[in-house]
A = this chain, B = another copy of it.
Amino acid sequence: MQIPKGLEPMYPSTADALQAERSRAKFDVSEMHKFIVDAGTRSRTAKVLKVLEAEPETFNLRDIYFYSRTERMEHALKMGKRLIELMQEGKLTNDEVSWADTILDTMGPYALHRSMFLPTLESQANEEQRELFLKPALKYEILGCYAQTEIGHGSNVQGLETTCTFVPETGEFEVHSPSIRASKWWIGSLGVTATHAMVMAQLIVNGKNYGPNPVVVPIRSTETHKPLPGVTVGDLGPKFGFNAMDNGFLLLDHVRVPRINLMQRYINVSRDGKVSRPANVDPKVAYGTMVYVRTQIVRNMSQVLAKATTIALRYTSQRRQFSGKSDNPQPNGLESPVLDYGMVQYRLIPLLAQNFAMFATSQAFARHYEQCMDQLNAGNFGPLKELHATACGLKRWTSDVAIRGIDTCRHVCGGHGFSSFSGLNDFYGNSYPNIIWEGDNYVLSQQVGRFLLTQVRALRSGKPVADNQTTQYLRRHLTNGRLETVPGPAFIGKSVASLAADTDAQLDLLSYRAAAMASELVDRMDEHGQTWNQSLVAMQRLSDAHSDYIVANYFRQHLATLPTDSPILPVLRKIAALNFLYVLEQNPGDLFRLPGRAAFSTKQIVEIEQLLAKLIEEVRDQAIPLVESFGVSDLKLNSALGRSDGQVYDNYLKWAMEEPINREGTGDKIREEWFQKYYKPFLQPTKSQAKL
| Contacting residues, chain B, for A69 (C-beta < 8 A) | 66, 68, 660-661
For A342, what are the chain B residues with a Cβ–Cβ distance below 8 Å?
533-537
Q: Is the Cβ of B232 less than 8 Å from the Cβ of A2?
A: yes
Contact yes or no, A421 B237, CB < 8 A: yes
Whole-angstrom distance from the CB of A628 to the nearest CB of chain B? 24
A689 adjacent to B531 (CB under 8 Å): no
List of B residues within 8 angstroms of A658 by Cβ: 237
Contacts of A133 in B (CB 8 A): 686, 688
- A678-B81 in contact given A432-B418, A684-B141 (Cβ < 8 Å): yes
Q: Whole-angstrom distance between the alpha carbons of A193 and B677 in the complex?
A: 12
| Chain B residues near A274 (CB-CB < 8 A) | none
Q: A153 in the interface, Cβ–Cβ < 8 Å?
A: yes
Q: Smallest Cβ distance from A216 to chain B, in angstroms?
A: 7
What residue in chain B is nearest A420 (Cβ atoms)?
B238
> Does A378 interact with chain B (Cβ within 8 Å)?
no
In Å, the complex CA distance between A680 and B599 comes to 67
Q: Is the CB of B225 within 8 A of A321?
A: no
Chain A 652-667 residues near chain B, CB threshold 8 A: 652-653, 655-662
Assess whether B66 is in contact with A238, with CB atoms less than 8 Å apart: yes
CA separation between A177 and B649, bound complex, in Å? 14
Residues of B within 8 A of A169 (CB): none
Asked if A222 is at the interface (CB within 8 A of a chain B CB), the reply is: yes
Residue of B nearest to A67 (CB): B68
Q: Give the nearest-CB partner of A234 in chain B.
A: B662
Return the CB mask of A670-689 against B: 1 if under 8 Å, else 0: 11101101111111111111
Are B181 and A659 within 8 A (Cβ)?
no
Measured CA separation A139–B652 after assembly (Å): 36
Residue of B nearest to A78 (CB): B678
Q: Do residues A425 and B180 form an inter-chain contact, with CB atoms below 8 A?
A: no
Please determine whether A327 and B533 come into contact, CB atoms closer than 8 angstroms: yes
Cβ–Cβ contact B659 & A321, under 8 A: no
- Residues of chain B contacted by A73 (CB below 8 angstroms): 661
**B residues less than 8 Å from A661 (CB atoms):** 69-70, 73, 191-192, 234-235, 246
A27 at the interface (CB under 8 A from B): no
Contact residues of A between 185 and 242, Cβ < 8 Å to B: 185-186, 191-193, 195, 216, 218, 221-223, 225, 228, 230, 232, 234-242
Within 8 A of B (CB), among A246-269: 246, 249, 251, 253, 256-258, 260-261
Which B residues are CB-close (under 8 A) to A68?
A: 68-69
Quick check: is A178 within 8 A (CB to CB) of the other chain? yes
Contact B692 A236 (CB under 8 A): no
Determine if A589 and B613 form an interchain contact, defined as CB atoms under 8 angstroms apart: no
| Complex-state Cα separation, A10 to B132, whole angstroms | 37
User: Which of A31-39, A92-100, A433-441 forms part of the interface with chain B?
Assistant: A433-441
Closest approach, in angstroms, between the C-beta of A261 and any C-beta of chain B?
7
Nearest Cβ on chain B to A640's Cβ, whole angstroms: 10
Q: Mark A1-17, 1 if CB is under 8 A from B, else 0.
A: 11110111110000000
Whether A471 sits at the interface, judged by CB under 8 Å, is: no
Q: Are A156 and B321 in contact (CB under 8 A)?
A: yes
Flag if A425 contacts B239 (CB, 8 Å): yes
Are B689 and A327 neighbours in the complex by a CB distance under 8 Å? Answer: no
Chain B residues with CB below 8 A from A440, complex form = 414
Contact of A678 (CB < 8 Å), options: B8, B80, B346, B686: B80
Q: Which of A594-619 contact B (CB under 8 A)?
A: 599, 602, 605, 609, 613
Does A488 lie at the interface of the complex (its beta carbon under 8 Å from any beta carbon of B)? no
Chain B nearest Cβ from A543, distance in angstroms:
11
Instruction: Enumerate chain B residues within 8 angstroms of A321, measured Cβ to Cβ.
Output: 153-156, 159
| A78 vs B679: C-alpha distance when bound (angstroms) | 10
**Which residue from chain B places its CB closest to the CB of A657 in the assembled complex?**
B234
A540 on the B face (CB < 8 A): yes
Distance between A277 CB and nearest chain B CB, rounded to angstroms: 23
- CB proximity of A401 to chain B, nearest CB, Å: 15
A534 with B327: CB separation less than 8 A: yes
What are 27 A-B pairs with beta-carbon distances under 8 A?
A: A3-B180, A4-B251, A8-B179, A70-B660, A73-B661, A80-B678, A140-B682, A141-B684, A143-B682, A143-B683, A151-B649, A153-B321, A155-B322, A192-B674, A218-B692, A222-B686, A222-B689, A236-B419, A236-B656, A241-B418, A327-B531, A342-B536, A414-B436, A414-B440, A537-B609, A588-B592, A592-B593
Task: Assess the A682–B84 pair: CB atoms within 8 A.
Answer: yes
Quick check: A346 and B537 within 8 Å, CB to CB?
Answer: yes
List B contacts of A70 (CB < 8 A): 660-661, 670
Question: Does A558 reach chain B (CB closer than 8 Å)?
Answer: no
The answer to whether B688 touches A258 (Cβ under 8 A) is yes
A420 to B237, CA, bound (A): 8
